[in-house]
Structure 1
Amino acid sequence: MFEDFTKVPDPYILALTGAGLLIALVAWLPLALRKLPLSLPIVCIGIGAALFSFLPIPLRPLPANYPNFVEHFTEFVVIIALMGAGLKLDRVFNWQRWSVTWRLLGPTMLLTIAAITALGVYVLHLPLPVAILLGGALAPTDPVLAADVQVGPPKTGEEDEVRFGLTSEAGLNDGLAFPFINLAVVLAAAATTGEPWFVGWALHSVMWEIGAAVAIGILVGKAFGWITFHIPAESKLAASGDGVIAIAATLITYGLCELAHCYGFLGVFVAALAIRHAHRSHDFQREMHDFTEQVERITMMVGLLLFGGALVSGLLQPIGWIEALVAGVILLVIRPVTGLIGMIGLKADLSEKLTLAFFGIRGVGSFYYLAYAVNHMPVPGADRLWALMGLVVLLSILMHGLTVTPVMRGIDRAHGRDPDADAPEADPPNERAPASG
């Protein structure tokens, strides 16, 4: 009749309780941290470290022990973040108006990859394929952890040059980073077989995978845009108000890209831009973005809790002073310097250029690239690479997380915006935009 309260609780019930607490934190923490020089990722890592330090959890979530899980989990988090980033952008795609994006993708990112590769070869004494892998994995700005420096939700007007540049860079830089990850895989294979590699890599990993991803993204995005906004009123998805359709578009686009052996990350972001372009003024754009953001935030927090657990489980044990020096150079020298080189000639204030150059946040995407490579090529000293990657991501989260609030509030004041004001509503209540136009 009476329950024995001394027996060990059911792990399933504990998991349900923990999931509820996690979702509550997802909703509350961004509000609590809004005006503090502290970011959500820092808090999540701290919670994860505490959980794995003080609770009897037998799991040691070291990424080297679970490379397949790391690859697929981070893959999912990134594609959700890329859909959300594309739906945020109010600026119509235009080669001239997106000039800041091309600067960050072109000279900045290419120079970053080259510089990190050189550090890998001459300082860390890595084989060339592994050094190229390190450069390709640590060069891109992360679309997941860079949320605090990205534009606001659709139609809120929070799209200055800094936020737009970092958002669009995070959305598109996979199309430039992934060819170098594949280059590392190809070079590692060629070192064993001695077969020619350049033509195949250039035709497939560069031309086909980028071109096919863009084409699939446009086609799927246009199809979803038509179904959502332009078919007869009784059946168009916008009338449902169900933002989950953005997740469907994400998964379909990514799946088709993978079936076509092209870059799914790039395809998803392009699809998001096409959906956004299908009807830029409709309220349903905001609903799709908000639902996507909620899913992204939950998965991001799970990943960061595991990252915190990995830190207290010995992830950084292989780190020596050389690795610590390399991590500092990557974050404090290479990205800022290459960022400023890319900004040469850009019509922007010096403070904006410095912010664009500094906030090249590293995060979930870097773990994906390393996990993908480990699963596709031999990586000698993989524990050392995981440790270096973990240190760079941790330092980036701390450094950028502690500075992002005061810096972005200063940017807002410089543009005449009140950083303490609530974000404007997309449209007055009960005045939804028509389904055409």
Structure 2
Amino acid sequence: MDAQTLIMGGFGLLILLVAWFPIFISHLPLTLPMLCVAIGFGGFSLLGENGLSPRDYPGTLSVLTELTIIVSLAGAGLSIDRPWAWRQWMNTWRLLGIAMPLTIAACAALAAIYLGLPWETAVLIGAVIAPTDPVLAADVRVGPPREEAEDEVRFSLTSEAGLNDGLGFPFTMLALGLAAHGTLGDWTWHWLAVDGLWRCVAGVAAGWLVGRLLGNMVFRLGAQTIARTGQGFASLGITFVAYSAAEYIHGYGFIAVFVAALMLRSRDDEYGYHLRLHGFIEQIEHLLMMMLLVLFGGSLAGPLLEELTWPMAIAAIVVLFVIRPLAGMISLLGSRLRSCERVIVSLFGIRGVGSFFYLAYATNIGDFAQIDAAWAFVGFIVLLSIFSYGMLSAPLMSWLDRRQAALAGAEQKPG
């Protein structure tokens, strides 16, 4: 059997796995990402291959992860029913403006002081670890448009993941600047003005403009013809147009895709077109995610974790279960969330595809000392994140739903 036939057969099995397997594991402490990682690891091990090394293919990995992220960001934006308003997104701004910088600083310090990595590499690790992942957070995300009420926990986690993937770019660029110049200097002002300010604003502006224009075209000018008969695969077109528009004006395409999807979703839709757009993009997202996770499993059978040490393993546990929860709790002090809701929002800082994208992107451009150790450290964090959160998410969210229902019922009782 030739390689092409094996690839086609394997791809077909992966599609069937994505489509059908979640039905059989819905009541088990397992997730499809966990299974795909195991399949990738087992497949490469049984075939006697040396596994994959993402360190050797940073350009290819950057493209694949970038595509997966923008598709996922579009799906997250289309799923949010809440209008884009400052007060209604207050918990999101807290997580982005307080929790994310605290996480970056703490992770960079941990990598430099405890693990002994150079500061430029440590800052890079902080930047790539800080963004939470919209791709792997299916169990803690809001549901499809208009299908269920958005509770504050799921909304906060979805909106945070939708925006902080783009906000990881300025800090990655900071690490690249440190790698190139050695220390902070005059270039820092350019970084603040361009990478820190302009590209964020340009991303928001491009996403807002594309989303508004396409929303008017679909729900006003084209009149209900497009909304009534339009195909779901147009969601890919929306995604790519928004991304390209932002990149053309040197903005962050990740931010633009999420904002464009939000703007389109904000339009009234009596024909259910939002559901068709979201349904298609969600299926593509799942397929891309599973492919990447099988490849990630294959890399675990290879040299990815060769540089992993016990101090790194301990540091990974600290990142996921100490630094992120503490940063999240600090950022949510004074919010209207109940204590149990703050704990869950703070805990579920899932790491995944975004971390690999930023690490591959930086590796493809800059020269970082001890970068193999960084790959091993980040790879172990993602592995630990997939399995720990995969087992915790469903039972914890079910418990939260029951508790919220009980509290709501108690508040409605007279007297």
The two structures have a TM-score, normalised by structure 2, of 0.94
Task: Please state whether the residue corresponding to 1:399 is helix, strand or coil.
Answer: helix
- Shift, 1:232, TM fit: 3.7
Note if 1:26 corresponds to 2:8.
no
Task: Please state whether the residue corresponding to 2:29 is helix, strand or coil.
Answer: coil
Please, which of 302, 311, 316 is the counterpart of residue 300 of structure 2?
A: 311
CA–CA distance in structure 2, aligned partners of residues 293 and 300 of structure 1: 10
- Shift, 1:281, TM fit: 5.1
CA–CA distance in structure 2, aligned partners of residues 329 and 294 of structure 1: 34
Task: Please state whether the residue corresponding to 1:90 is helix, strand or coil.
Answer: coil
- Shift, 1:100, TM fit: 1.2
Structure 1's 242 and 400: CA in aligned 2 closer, same or farther, altered over 3 A?
same
Note if 1:332 corresponds to 2:321.
yes
CA–CA distance in structure 2, aligned partners of residues 129 and 318 of structure 1: 18
- Shift, 1:314, TM fit: 2.6
State the one-letter code of the partner of 1:409: S
Contact 1:36/1:405 (8 A) holds in 2: no
Note if 1:373 corresponds to 2:365.
no
Q: CA RMSD in A?
A: 1.6
Q: Which residue matches 2:148?
A: 157
> For residues 26-74 of structure 1, what are the alpha-carbon distances to aligned partners after superposition, in whole Å with 9 as ceiling and x for unaligned?
1112222222221111011111111111136x57321101111111100
Structural mapping, 1:138-153, within 5 Å: 138-153=129-144
CA–CA distance in structure 2, aligned partners of residues 228 and 121 of structure 1: 51
Q: Which residue matches 1:47?
A: 39
Moved over 4 A (4+): none
Q: Which residue matches 1:78?
A: 69
State the one-letter code of the partner of 1:17: G
CA–CA distance in structure 2, aligned partners of residues 91 and 280 of structure 1: 14
CA–CA distance in structure 1, aligned partners of residues 10 and 207 of structure 2: 37
CA–CA distance in structure 1, aligned partners of residues 292 and 222 of structure 2: 41
Note if 1:224 corresponds to 2:207.
no
Please, which of 382, 398, 413 is the counterpart of residue 387 of structure 2?
A: 398
State the one-letter code of the partner of 1:218: W
- Shift, 1:171, TM fit: 0.3
Please, which of 186, 206, 209 is the counterpart of residue 196 of structure 2?
A: 206
- Shift, 1:342, TM fit: 1.0
Identity percentage over the alignment? 46
Q: Which residue matches 1:426?
A: none
Q: Which residue matches 1:107?
A: 98
Structure 1's 146 and 108: CA in aligned 2 closer, same or farther, altered over 3 A?
same
CA–CA distance in structure 2, aligned partners of residues 138 and 280 of structure 1: 37
May I ask how many residue pairs the two structures share in their alignment?
406
> For residues 145-164 of structure 1, what are the alpha-carbon distances to aligned partners after superposition, in whole Å with 9 as ceiling and x for unaligned?
11111000100124111100
CA–CA distance in structure 2, aligned partners of residues 150 and 357 of structure 1: 14
CA–CA distance in structure 2, aligned partners of residues 225 and 47 of structure 1: 41
CA–CA distance in structure 2, aligned partners of residues 125 and 321 of structure 1: 13
CA–CA distance in structure 2, aligned partners of residues 300 and 59 of structure 1: 22
Note if 1:119 corresponds to 2:113.
no
Unaligned runs of 5+ in 2: 407-415
Structural mapping, 1:138-287, within 5 Å: 138-191=129-182, 196-233=186-223, 236-279=225-268, 282-287=271-276
CA–CA distance in structure 1, aligned partners of residues 245 and 201 of structure 2: 14
Q: Which residue matches 1:416?
A: 405
Contact 2:41/2:301 (8 A) holds in 1: yes
Unaligned runs of 5+ in 1: 1-8, 418-437
CA–CA distance in structure 2, aligned partners of residues 282 and 401 of structure 1: 35
> For residues 180-213 of structure 1, what are the alpha-carbon distances to aligned partners after superposition, in whole Å with 9 as ceiling and x for unaligned?
1111112222229x96212111110011100110
Q: Which residue matches 2:6?
A: 14
Contact 2:25/2:31 (8 A) holds in 1: yes
